[in-house]
Amino acid sequence: MRLAKPAGFRDTVRFTINYHGRITQGRGLYFFPAEPGRPRHHQQVYSGGGTDGNPNWIPTYGAPNDKATWDLIARVPAGLTVVSNGRLVSDKVDPPARRSRASPPAGSRTHTVHWRQERPASTYLISLAAAPFKKVSDRWRDVPLDYYVYPEDVARARRLFGVTPDMMETFTRLTGVKYPWDGYSQTTVTDFIGGMENVGATTLVDWLPDAQAYRDRPWYRHSLIPHELAHQWFGNLVTAENWSNYWLNEGMAEFMAGQYWGFRNGPHAEDDFYLDEYRRFLASDSRRRVPLASFNSNNVYTKGALVMRMLKQHLGPEPFWASINRYLTRHSFGNANSDDLRRAVLHATGQNLDWFWDQWVYNAGYPELAVSPEYDSVAATLTLTVRQTQLDVAPADSAGPRFSTPSVFQGRILVRVGTSSGEVRKQVRLDRREQVIRVEGLRSEPNMVVFDENNAMLKVLTFEQPTRWLAHQLSRDSNLWNRSWVIDQLARRSGDTLAASALSRAARSADYYLTRAQAVAALRGFPAGIALPAVEASLRDSSAAVRETAVTTLGLLGGARAQAAVREAWKRDSSYEVRASALTALARLDSVASRPQVLAALSTPSYRDVIQTAAIGAAARAPDSTLIDGLEKIIGEQKLPSLVLATLASRGDTQALAALVRHRDDSRSWVRRWVLDAIEEQLQGKDLE
Ligand SMILES: [Zn+2]
């Protein structure tokens, strides 16, 4: 580009870029033809591809600090609704089109829709979605909320997205920053990668739960909706200045979702949310260890949320939210990096948390603590020797940088010691590779030692304890994470009747479903005679997650009694997930006797086809001619039957092969596609697990 005259430093130069192009399907824009006869596959187009899709169809460079305002004008067929960012400026029916190369077929009507984003936002958040949507209108304070869904999903949309006003109110109160955009739309489209927080106009996958699916706590409402909404503050109002600080978008959004449930349903619900993050973080860290703030970090969601949780515990809620408010207001409509968040804390609280940022944000890993106890009855003192055993063994990765795990992590924790004559708590600062903690003033021998009572430190704990301490803790510790740790310890003591009775009691009567479910799962390693009563009783639990665990555990325990109980659950349970797991358990217990149930399950509708999918799995593991017939009947409902048939055919099953050949020329385009894909994958040696 040549300028008419040379531009000087600080000059402003305005450009108009005229461009046109052909979009490659799936590069920034996704086009779907209508597939009549296939549920939820209407004609549509949407932008997608996460944070790097837009430069493929708009002249932007797509980096997070590329902030702009924009107008989006789209001309589409008359039956399609266009959703984009900001506010709707106009929607006009076009004059009938004359036939030309650039216009739609003569005679078909189009309309032109104009949306305008008036406050600056990052260009990776520009979005377009067009489909035969119905709009469901809602409101929070003066902010219009719109849910754009297919006509058949209108009833489901009201229930699903009806949580939005309460979430908006909660996030506004917690952060002290009102929802910052003109309106908020949530639009569901087909075959989408979960959700994308386009500014003021989130795009989501079209898996709207039916009424029965709410028994299983759908991920959609639990995680997806609050996560994408939280991005409207964290990511959209204040954006990570580059992708190495991506955790400021993703970790904060994930953290806020947990805060919503904590605010709404109390501390157990909050711990429940982050315990899941903790497990996923440990799994990803074991595959590849990188710091939170690094390019392509694999833990921006999980560790990001956990680090924010720790920060909130360290500061206390009020100073924490004051810091968050400072961060959001200081960088509104702009960008921030990890140190900007630290400075916001410094400004709001006076605390310089260099050490916290160093160990949790810029370095990798977590502390691995090994604790050993010694009780001195004469001195009435419990001595805990605490060693940090984490090793810094990460090799340089292929990109070159070598990340280090601190040899010493610092933090404040609370030790709680129970005795038959009262409890003693002691606050301790961990700051050495090895240190000794003395808890004095015990009036009798300890019967419970809780190390890090509030789980203030992200860690892995090794602490060998007598079973009676653990049993005590399981019934008296209100912290969900600690209970979960205790259950893991007890699960390994399958020869210990005290462990079995502690787990059985927790399975029946713990005050939160997750503890009950974990206790039921832990009983699977115990002798059936000891485990069965509690596991069977759990089939009547009010929580579907507990019943689901009970059914799976019964399948592993085995025996006629377990089998009868599982068959009953398959017949009568009201939860899709429980029935799906019951079917899998039945098929594992007796693949021949369970054939009628598997056949029935192949055509049993359920949310996200969990029951059908369980049946397909069972049929794949023990196929016979009736089940292969059953698979062929549902070949148009999802891709999995084609994959199973192709696998069976490649192993020499002629009936499966004949079925595939028949559907190679199926009248339904998507079935032909699935069959060809399945054959191709088989030829490439991708056997179905
Ligand atoms: Zn996100």
Domain ends where: 315, 330, 362?
362
Q: Total structural domains in the chain?
A: 4
Residue 217's pLDDT is: 96
Instruction: Note residues around ion ligand 1 (Cβ under 5 angstroms).
Output: 250, 253
Domain boundary residue, one of 183, 205, 227:
205
Same domain, 253 and 286: yes
Q: Is 156 left (phi over 0), alpha (psi -120 to 50) or beta?
A: alpha
Q: What is the CA radius of gyration of the chain?
A: 29
Half-sphere exposure of residue 195: CA atoms within 13 angstroms, side-chain side = 26
Provide the pLDDT confidence category of residue 216 given band limits of 50, 70 and 90: very high
Per residue in 651-674, pLDDT (tens digit) is: 999 999 999 999 999 999 999 999
Structure-token pair, residue 362? 């810029």
Structure tokens at 402: 């070598």
Whole-number pLDDT of residue 61: 82
- Prediction ipTM score: 1.00
Residue 588 in this model has a pLDDT that exceeds 60: yes
Can you tell me whether residue 646 is helix, strand or coil?
Answer: helix
For residues 565 and 505, membership in a common domain is answered with: yes
Same domain, 189 and 283: no
Q: How far is the CA of 515 from the centre of ligand 1 (A)?
A: 28
Q: What is the pLDDT of residues 286-319, one digit of tens each?
A: 999 999 999 889 999 999 999 999 999 999 999 9
Q: Are residues 85 and 183 in the same domain?
A: yes
**Ligand 1: centre distance to CA 166 (Å):** 20
| Residues whose CB falls within 8 Å of the CB of residue 477, separated by 6 or more in sequence, listed in order | 448, 450, 453, 483, 486
Are both 578 and 684 inside the same structural domain?
Answer: no
User: How far apart are alpha carbons 449 and 451 in whole angstroms?
Assistant: 6
Beta partners for 73?
A: 114
- Let me know: does 186 contact 202? Beta carbons within 8 Å: yes
Ligand 1 mean position, distance from CA 302 (Å): 11
pLDDT at residue number 220: 98
Task: Name residue, tokens 């449930």.
Answer: 261
Could you give the CA distance from residue 556 to residue 134 in angstroms, rounded to a whole number?
A: 46
Best CA proximity match to 41, nearest among 671, 666, 675: 671
Whether 659 is covered by a domain: the verdict is yes
State whether 37 and 186 are in the same domain.
yes
Q: What is the pLDDT of residue 100?
A: 55
The yes-or-no verdict on residue 49 having pLDDT over 90 is: no
Q: Which of 560, 557, 559, 555 is nearest to 580 (CA)?
A: 555
SS3 193: coil
Ligand 1 center–CA 85 separation, angstroms: 17
By residue range, what is the domain housing residue 627?
623-689
In this structure, are 62 and 172 located in the same domain? Answer: yes
Distance from Cα 375 to the centre of ligand 1, integer Å: 48
Pair 72, 200 in one domain? yes
Q: Is the pLDDT of residue 526 over 90?
A: yes
The string of pLDDT tens digits covering residues 616-664 is 999 999 999 999 999 999 999 999 999 999 999 999 999 999 999 999 9
The three-class DSSP label of residue 389 is coil
- Domain assignment present for residue 47? The answer is yes
**570, 602, 634: which is the final residue of a domain?**
602
